Amino acid sequence: MGVLTDGDRKILPLALRENGGFHLATKWYLGWEPLPYQYLFHHILQPNATWVGAIATGKTTTIAASNVIDCITLPGFRSLNTSISARQAELPFEMIMTWLDGNDRLSHLVDRTRLRPFPMIEWKNGSSYTFRTMGVDARLIRGEEYDRINIDEGGYMTNDYPLKVLRGRLRGERANGVPRMARLDVTGSPTSADWLQTRFNRGDPNQPSAEMKNYFSLRTTTYDNTHLTKQQIALMEAEYPPSMIDVELGGQFPDFGLSMFPRSHVDAVIDISLNDLINSAVRQANGKVKRGFRLEEDPRQGILKYEVSRAGGHRYVLAGDPGVDNPPRRNAGVVVVLDVTESPHEMVYFDWVVGNGSYFPFIDSFKYALNKYQPTLKGLDATGTQKAIDELAFESHGIQVDKIHFGRDKSAILNDLSFAVTGHKLKLPFIKGMKDQLLSYSHERERDKRFPQDIVMALGMAAWLSRYAPEEREAGNPPAQNNYINRRARSGRRSRR
């Protein structure tokens, strides 16, 4: 370990699980004290831990602190934080960097940190803490051995096959001959994934399927976080309808039984390999971003902007649902581009626009996508408030669009999206907000203004436009369907005069 201070010699032994001093170690080394449920999570003895937590319950903080204490107290300990999102996998690293900044009590125990090809902290006692995306079926994690692995936001995985792969990485001995801990954590928000609920039940003593010898499950609510004020919680509650309060604040598994888009089909059209491709493009070993690619992620909402390069000779459609608010609120603008050269149609551009009260960020994004992908068809809802955007802002920017009258054609648009999803005619990257909106969308919830659905609307317009995109043999010729859209637009204008 190198030179230990008097404080190290006193605190490190106390921090071992058998001595129960996790809270003492976190206060000394991190300046942070765990709440009771955070203390409990660190001390779980079962090799499979599942934590389903509502918003603002400190899951990331706990994971980061728990693994840091394991690394500095157990020589040769190897930890991994992984996720299907690179950003999510790296969140604990960013938190630890804030703890290390100017902190002599902790920094002298670090040997080195590195950022590429993925973040990693190496400790002077031979321990290491790695942060990287898992890739399709956890293929990027093969060939390594770890003491402890956390799958962050694991509930967004379509199945539990990656768990089987990662369980195989939890084996062997440390350099000192001590068997590895072999603990596999799954943490994150409650989702409708069947495998997650099954795993959770195996660690719940109230369930008949419980296997408490090997599984432990923890559910925390926003109300459990005593650092939050009543006013802060009340403001959160005001944002959600009752069913979402149960999920977002209560940590309950959601029920999407009425969804127009069944979960099995949504899972089928989401291709994690697209996330792997863009992650490698924006996180190259040389630190540069591959030309034509862009990825912007929010720590809580996930991907806000996804952009891949334009391919020569390919055909695209562009759709936009205008808005002025910020994700994840309803009325946040969305811009989508699909590559319709062949089926399934692949998403190449997605922008969940941060409007900050203005339509211009949406307009700028729409125009940028228009110039980059040169779509065959480009659609915008041209009814209501959106009509004013089309006629004023878009015309002032010199943008001509194929107008979509959403109020009149909504059923057809949603049917086209339903057929595209259930027929597996789309190829989409994993985007948390998109998956959440698809799974929660129903005609009943559509009328509740607190349910965000702008991504569904934009994706529906893109699917609708895709039906009228020219076939490959028609490339370069104005398709009859294009004229059909224009006739519908003209008829809509006449009807409003």
The answer to which of 137-151, 195-209, 434-448 has the lowest mean pLDDT is: 434-448
Q: Which residue has the higher pLDDT, 478 or 80?
A: 80
Distance CA 203, CA 190 (A): 15
Closest CA to 46 of 281, 178, 218: 218
Q: State how far the alpha carbon of 335 is from the alpha carbons of 134, 191, 362, 390, 434, in Å.
A: 28, 25, 8, 14, 12
Structure tokens that stand for 303 in this block:
């991907």
Strands 48-53 and 345-352: what pairing?
Answer: unpaired
pLDDT in tens, 365-415: 999 999 999 999 988 876 655 555 655 556 666 677 766 666 667 888 899
Backbone phi, psi, residue 296, to 5°: -125, 130
Residue 360 one-letter amino acid: F
Q: State how far the alpha carbon of 401 is from the alpha carbons of 387, 390, 465, 472, 489, in Å.
A: 12, 8, 12, 22, 10
Share of the chain above pLDDT 90, in %: 73
Structure tokens that stand for 347 in this block:
């998403």
Q: Provide the b/e sequence for 304-331 (b: ≥16 CB within 10 Å).
A: bbbbbebeeebbbbbbbbbbbbbbbeeb
Strands 128-131 and 120-123: what pairing?
Answer: antiparallel
- The predicted structure's pLDDT at residue 476: 44
The answer to which of 42-46, 123-127, 137-141, 252-256 has the lowest mean pLDDT is: 252-256
Q: Of all helices (H) and strands (E), which one includes residue 82?
A: strand 78-82
Listing from the earlier edge strand, what are the strands of the sheet with 215-220? 110-114, 120-123, 128-131, 78-82, 148-152, 183-188, 48-53, 215-220
Backbone phi, psi, residue 111, to 5°: -85, -50
- Number of C-beta neighbours around residue 158 at 10 A: 18
Strands (E), 213-360: 215-220, 294-298, 302-307, 316-321, 334-339, 345-352
- The predicted structure's pLDDT at residue 385: 55
- Cβ(65)–Cβ(26) under 8 Å? yes
Q: Please provide the DSSP assignment of 162-183 as one string.
A: HHHHHHTTS-SB-TTSPBP--E
SS3 459: helix
Residue 488 one-letter amino acid: R
447 pLDDT tier (thresholds 50, 70, 90): low
pTM of the predicted protein model = 0.86
- The predicted structure's pLDDT at residue 412: 86
Residues 6+ apart with CB under 8 A from 458: 319, 320, 321, 334, 335, 336
Share of the chain above pLDDT 70, in %: 87
pLDDT in tens, 96-119: 999 999 999 999 999 999 998 899
257 pLDDT tier (thresholds 50, 70, 90): low
285 pLDDT tier (thresholds 50, 70, 90): confident
- The predicted structure's pLDDT at residue 403: 65
- The predicted structure's pLDDT at residue 44: 96
pLDDT in tens, 360-379: 899 899 999 999 999 999 88
Q: What is the mean pLDDT of residues 33-38?
A: 98
Distance CA 481, CA 483 (A): 5
Domains of the chain: 6-248 (3.40.50.300), 263-495 (3.30.420.240)
Paired residues of 320 in beta bridges: 335, 380
Q: How many CA atoms lie within 13 A of 497 on its CB side?
A: 6
